A and B are shown apart, each in its own frame.
Chain A
Amino acid sequence: MTTIHIVITIFVLFAMSRTFLRLREGEINKAQFAFWFVVWSLVAVVGYWPGVTQNLADFLGIDRGIDSVVYVSIVILFYLVYRAYVKLEHLEQDITKVIREEAISEFSKNAKKD
């Protein structure tokens, strides 16, 4: 077992335990847990048997297996950042709606008093 195997094993076990804890606390549902379980399992597979990435590389027309993993990871990361941005933007819009309603109702209350 090389150092990279030890690092990946510790990392994947840690990540899976965190995901499991979040499932138990009800922060994520079973489908989300399954998604992250598969993601971390794939990380472990690639860490132990880097050769499997060659199949992906051949499929995508990229020379080296590890390059294909980096490319695909970047695409997934971009997508996740975009999703996070969209969620954040919706959250911001919701906050504005709450603040707006509060400002208008406060104004109406004061107007009635006057």
Chain B
Amino acid sequence: MEGRDVIGYCKRSLPFSSVNAIIYAHFMPLNKEKICVIVPAYNEGAVIGNVLKALDKSGYRNVIVVDDGSHDDTYHVAKSNGVKVLRHGLNRGLGGALGTGIEAAIRLGNDIIVTFDADGQHDTADIEKVALPIYQKKADVVIGSRLKNRVGMPWYRVLMNVLGNLATYMLFGIWCSDTQSGLRAFSLDSAKRLEIRSNRMEVSSEIIREIKRLNLKMVEIPIKAIYTEYSLSKGQSLFTGIKTFFRLLLHRLMH
């Protein structure tokens, strides 16, 4: 079972689970309506239509797109796909967009919140895998790890991600095999407690820091990464990586 691939980070027992809920979750299949998929998007008009269609085809109808002040037709493409769309008046970066999506999902009272990249690099079949440990009350946060399933991942991507993991470990003292992954799942309770301050790419490492600070139980599930020319061109460059590291360093000094 996928959920068994667990790196139990925290020793404490889960606060919100009752024996009944666990037994129920084991016997009742996971209802996809219960999963709220958040798709942060900035200038993804060319691909977001396909991503949303794939989500719909896989049965995910509870989708929130956060258009982060795009200059292209991201907003209209998302709207025409019949999903919930929130629009930032100004571009705030990945962290800002994720924060808005999570806040909206909390206010709408969703039990399982999944973040999903808009560039088409994730497989919709992996959503259920990351949501399952939350549904079964086995985890508070699930990180979909591309590094546990490296098929098709270019070597420089592996190197960049390992460097990102090392930087996160050095700054916050918690090891995760794919800190920069865009596919994650949160329980409603853990999402409410997260304090996301950063606006840009450093949000991914910040989420890992919050997992440690709040003593949340983290599980890593191997996921597939679909690398197309488009998703590779949209990924972080070495220069962005260095900038992100320095911002994380300053955040560490600030707080």
> Using a CB–CB distance below 8 Å, which chain A residues touch chain B?
82, 85-86, 89, 92-93, 95-96, 99-100, 102-104, 106-107, 111
Residues on A with C-beta less than 8 A from B199 are 92-93, 96
Known: A82-B250, A99-B100, A107-B84. 14 other contacts (CB 8 A): A89-B250, A89-B251, A93-B197, A96-B92, A99-B88, A100-B92, A100-B100, A100-B103, A103-B66, A104-B86, A104-B107, A106-B86, A106-B87, A107-B87
A99 lies within 8 A of B89 (CB):
yes
**How many interface residues does chain B have, given as a range?**
20 to 34
Nearest residue, chain B, Cβ from A85? B250
The reply on B104 being an interface residue by CB < 8 A is yes
Q: What are 25 residue pairs bridging A and B, where the CB atoms are less than 8 Å apart in the complex?
A: A82-B250, A89-B251, A93-B199, A96-B95, A96-B99, A96-B199, A99-B90, A99-B100, A100-B88, A100-B92, A100-B96, A100-B99, A100-B103, A103-B66, A103-B86, A103-B88, A103-B100, A104-B86, A104-B100, A104-B103, A104-B107, A107-B84, A107-B85, A107-B104, A111-B84
Distance (whole angstroms) from the CB of A99 to the closest CB of chain B: 5
Q: Give the CA-CA distance A6 to B37 in the complex, in Å.
A: 67
Nearest residue, chain B, Cβ from A89? B254
Q: Give the CA-CA distance A61 to B254 in the complex, in Å.
A: 31
Q: Give the CA-CA distance A100 to B88 in the complex, in Å.
A: 7
Chain A proximity mask over B85-114: 1 for CB below 8 Å, otherwise 0: 111111010011001100110010000000
B84 lies within 8 A of A103 (CB):
no
Chain A proximity mask over B236-255: 1 for CB below 8 Å, otherwise 0: 00000000000000110110
Q: Which 8 residue pairs of A and B lie closest in terms of their CB atoms, listed nearest first?
A: A96-B96, A103-B86, A100-B100, A107-B86, A96-B92, A99-B88, A96-B199, A103-B88
Nearest residue, chain A, Cβ from B200? A92
Residues on B with C-beta less than 8 A from A85 are 250
Q: Which of A95, A96, A103 has the most CB of B within 10 A?
A: A103
Q: Give the CA-CA distance A83 to B7 in the complex, in Å.
A: 39
Residues on A with C-beta less than 8 A from B100 are 99-100, 103-104
Q: Give the CA-CA distance A51 to B90 in the complex, in Å.
A: 54
Residues on B with C-beta less than 8 A from A100 are 88, 92, 96, 99-100, 103
Distance (whole angstroms) from the CB of B153 to the closest CB of chain A: 31
Residues on A with C-beta less than 8 A from B197 are 93
A102 lies within 8 A of B89 (CB):
yes
Distance (whole angstroms) from the CB of A94 to the closest CB of chain B: 11
Q: Give the CA-CA distance A8 to B192 in the complex, in Å.
A: 57
Q: Which of A85, A93, A100 has the most CB of B within 10 A?
A: A100
A103 lies within 8 A of B90 (CB):
no
Nearest residue, chain A, Cβ from B104? A104
Q: Give the CA-CA distance A82 to B90 in the complex, in Å.
A: 26
Q: Which of A82, A89, A111 has the most CB of B within 10 A?
A: A89
